[in-house]
Structures are given as structure tokens and as C-alpha cells.
Amino acid sequence: MQQKNLDLVLQKVLQKIIPSAQEAGAVHSVIGDVLAETEKIIKPHGFSVVLAGSFTRNTWLSHKKEFDIFIQFPVETEREELEKKGLEIGKRIVKSFKGSHVVAYAEHPYVKSKINGYDVDIVPCYKVESAEKIKSAVDRTPFHNKYLSKNLHPHQSADVRLLKTFTKMNSLYGSDLKTQGFSGYLCELLIIKYDSFKNLISQASNWLPGQVFIDLEGKYNGNKKEFWGQSLAAIDPVDPKRNVAAALSPAVFVKFVKLCQNFLENPSEKFFFKREEKTKAAELLKNIKSRGTLFLGVKFSRQEVVDDIIYPQLRKTAKRLLDILKEYEFAVLGSAVHTDKKSCLIILELETWNLPNIRRITGPPVFAIKNSQEFVNKYKKLGRVWVEEDRWVAEVKRQFKEADKKLVDTLSESAKILKAKGIASYMADSIAKGFKVLDAKQLLKTADEELLETIRDYLEENV
Ligand code: CTP
Ligand code: MG
């Protein structure tokens, strides 16, 4: 019964997520035009062009209006030459479609464009002999294309789409540093390994962190030592040194396993679609109040830097602030980070935020004569000193009684000092220019839908 139900659910989901013939026709017509124009432009140079990723194998998700093309240069091309020519060619392509563009930066600068309503990245790369000889990460992609065209059976593209949707709708899709989840290529390899979405999730519902080793081409003979400490090891068949799942965090791994268990227990379409009801600020505030904790938000401006740099820096900074607060005896329950185009926010949840005027310090045993003298000399000036059992104890005035004051004190510094305190570099530069510490009410009052979701995700995090 359950089995039938599961099949029915997957069938219904597929009907909704497989792009219509009309949509596929429209996408492929734009891609075809761009590739043809590119061929024309690069022909005199003898370069080649490759379409990257999911469009080459029907694993793209409906409504996706972006694709990447890679211009392959001979390996002996100087880096500078590749970058200059790469941009030149990119701009020419965009111009012939009367599109718009900006230059963006990854391993090499590349053209990020808008052509006929699509976001098209035009990326230069090296045409290397094998994926083990790559000069930059993007050089691997043509080998992935080839491997998948051979090994991913056309009927499996539907299973890949199920897996991508399943992970995407539960915020587990993407190897970016915000998500730290499943990349498209990892989804494709998983489907090759387990044959179908259904079989994958039934296997994955028993996965344990660090125990799963996927080595499709048998390059390691089952020896997974090199990947110790990684949630999941999925060897890149075209470059065996690389773990395709390297970005997958333990938290996402655990959430995925749980999600598979939940889905098998109670198959439903809701696992594949975003929930409809909007998050309400008033409900979040009620929830926060019922916890009896204190929420503090540190808000500052965001510089024009990509998410993959911002998120790790935000997390590092949050961790540093938590450690500083703990040092001052403000117990911390957890934290969350958030960013939009203009601002960054670190949310801290505290168990303790008000402390008494005085603080207790435990000293050395009375039998340690020299240490005892030093202790008494130091603390006698500051307050009471006495002995409990065989140890000295002192009482001194507390410097910071309120957590928010300690935060303000810590952050009101120059960028240089903030960096020395362990605040990540872009964050330090922004905080030095100004920041605000907000309480839950203030946070929620001005929160947009995305921020409300971040707070809700934090409050509802539960495997
Ligand atoms: N790639 C990879 N590892 C990653 C991200 C990307 O190897 N962590 C390579 C793969 O060759 C992939 C290509 O870059 O096919 C394009 O990446 P991307 O567009 O991010 O993923 P797709 O597989 O195309 O999936 P999507 O449908 O989400 O675009
Ligand atoms: Mg893609």
C-alpha cells in the first residue's frame, strides 16, 4: 500500500516538475543560437565551446533561466592571454545578441550576461587532456559532460530531477557555501550509483555520517581512509582525487537522511514543494518570548562581495562573538546568520544576558605559597578574599553586566583591531563603519520575508 502510494506520489511530482515541451523548446533554441554564434566567433582562433551542466543531459529544473558556456583555450595559452581573450569573446557574443553584461570574478574573470531573458555565463577554461590535469576547477566540466552522457541513462534524468527538487525544496541543494549541500553533479552520480530516486532514498535512509563511500569506477578498492572526516565520499569518476561531496556539511547530511526516512514513512508531494503559508513576525515573536531567551541581532552593511565569501565570514564572526560572550560568562544557546543585497546580520540567542555586580574567582591552593601571595596581592585591592577548603577565592566587581553592552564594547573598534580580535576581514571593515545591536522586536519589525524565514528556520531546526 505504502509502496503504491510512493510510486503515485513520485508520478504526480514528475508531472509537475518536468519542464514542458514548450519550455524545453524555448531554452534549447536560445542555447542553440548562443552556441552557433559562439562557434562563429571562435572559429578563426581554433578554440572550442562547451555547454556546461544540466542542459546537456536533461536534468535542469523547470523555470531555470540560466546556463553556462565554456570557451576552451589550448593548455599552453598564458593565463593573461586567456583572461583577456575570454572577456573579449564573451563581450562579442553578448553584443551580437544585443544583451547586457558585467565582468565577474571566479578563478578567472568571466562575462556574466543577460541574453534574450536568460542569464548566460561565458567562462574561459583550458582544454586539458584529462580531468586530472586541470588548471582550474571549471576545466573538469567537459569531462563530466562526457562521463554523464555515457553513464547516466536518459530515463534516469527524471530521477535526477526528483532528487534535485527534493533537496532544493528542503534547502539542501547546492554546493555553495551558504547551503553546503548537494551539487547537481553529485545528484547525478548518486542516481547512477543507486539507479533510481526511489532506491537511493531507501538506501540513504540508513546512511551514517562518514560511512558512505561511492566510488563508481572502483578507483580505491574500498579504501576510504583518505576521506576520513567527510560526511559523504563520492569519488569524481573523472578525477579520483576529488570528493564531489566535499562541500556537504554534516548538518545537511543528517537532514537529508532524516528527510529520506520521513518521506518513506509518509510519502507525500509536500516534500517536493515549498510550503505556502507565509511566516508571520508576530508568531515568531511569540515563540521567542516563550523560550525566555534573549535574541540580539548585530546588523551592519554588506560590501559587494559574493555570498561564497560572505557566508563563511559571517559564520566565523558569529562564532567569535559567541566565544567572547562566553568568556564574559554570558551563556549562549545558538546563532544564525543572514544577508541580503545591502546588509549582514548576526543573530545570537542568549541564555544569560544579565549578570550581578560581582564575579567570583577561584585561586590557587593555600599550600602553593608563592602563587597564593600573588593571588592575594592582586585581588585584595579589588574586593573580598577568603579561603574555601584548601583554595583561595576572591570576589571582584564585574566589568560587563549586560551582554548587549559587552557586544557594543567589543565591536566599537577600528577595522584593524576588530581583525586582531578574530573578526573576519570583510565583516571587520563593515562593522568599523557602523553597526546596530537590535533586540527581537526591533529585528522582526523591519524583517522582510527572507529574514523571517531565516529566523523561522533557526527556531524550527529539528532533525
Ligand atoms: N560542478 C562541479 N562541482 C560543483 C559545482 C559544479 O563539478 N560543486 C561542475 C559540474 O561539471 C557541473 C557544472 O560544474 O555539471 C555546472 O555546474 P552548475 O551549473 O552549478 O550545476 P548543474 O549540474 O548544471 O546543475 P543546475 O541544474 O543546478 O545548474
Ligand atoms: Mg547549470
Best of 50, 136, 183 to mutate for ligand 1, by most ligand atoms within 8 A of CB?
A: 183
Which run of H or of E encompasses 121? strand 118-127
> Atom 12 in ligand 1: which residue has the minimum CA distance?
53
φ and ψ at 87, to 5 degrees?
Answer: -65, -45
The whole-angstrom separation of Cα 388 and Cα 329 is 22
> Atom 2 in ligand 1: which residue has the minimum CA distance?
185
What is the atom index within ligand 1 of the atom nearest the CA of 247?
A: 8
Q: Convert the pLDDT of each residue in 88-113 to its tens digit.
A: 999 999 999 999 999 998 888 999 99
For a pLDDT cut of 70, what percent of the chain falls above it? 100
- Ligand 1 within 6 A of CB of 86: no
Q: Which residues contact 48 (CB under 8 A, 6 or more apart)?
A: 42, 71, 72, 127
Instruction: With cut-offs at 50, 70 and 90, classify the pLDDT of residue 1.
Output: low
Within a 10 A sphere around the Cβ of 410, how many other Cβ atoms?
A: 20
- Going 236 to 240 to 244 to 250, the CA torsion angle's sign is positive
Ligand 1: centre distance to CA 138 (Å): 9
Give burial (CB, 10 Å; 0-12/13-18/19+) of 212: buried
Q: Convert the pLDDT of each residue in 117-168 to its tens digit.
A: 999 999 999 999 999 999 988 899 999 999 999 999 999 999 999 999 999 9
The CA distances from residue 343 to 291, 408, 409, 434, 447, in Å, are 27, 18, 21, 11, 12
Q: Which residue has the cell 515563540?
A: 287
> Atom 4 in ligand 1: which residue has the minimum CA distance?
183
Q: Convert the pLDDT of each residue in 40-57 to its tens digit.
A: 999 999 999 999 989 999
Ligand 2: centre distance to CA 120 (Å): 10
Q: How far separated are the first and last CA of the chain, in Å rounded?
A: 26
Q: What is the mean pLDDT of residues 177-194?
A: 98
- Ligand 1 within 6 A of CB of 60: yes
Q: Which residues contact 138 (CB under 8 A, 6 or more apart)?
A: 52, 70, 106, 107, 123, 125
- Ligand 1 within 6 A of CB of 248: no
Ligand 2: centre distance to CA 59 (Å): 9
Name the closest ligand to CA 61.
1
- Ligand 1 within 6 A of CB of 184: yes
The CA distances from residue 122 to 51, 166, 198, 211, 451, in Å, are 10, 29, 36, 38, 32
- Ligand 1 within 6 A of CB of 255: no
Q: What is the pTM of this model?
A: 0.94
The whole-angstrom separation of Cα 169 and Cα 273 is 6
Q: Where are the alpha helices (DSSP H) in 266-365?
A: 281-291, 307-327
- What's the pLDDT at 136? 87
Best of 123, 161, 180, 185 to mutate for ligand 1, by most ligand atoms within 8 A of CB?
A: 185
User: What angle do the packed helices 307-327 and 403-411 form, to 10 degrees?
Assistant: 130
Q: Concatenated DSSP letters for 201-258?
A: HHHHTT--TTTEEE-TT--STT--GGGTT-SEEEEETTEEEEETTTT--HHHHHHHHH
> Atom 16 in ligand 1: which residue has the minimum CA distance?
53
By the 8 A CB rule, do 298 and 435 touch? yes
Within a 10 A sphere around the Cβ of 425, how many other Cβ atoms?
A: 14
- What's the pLDDT at 211? 94
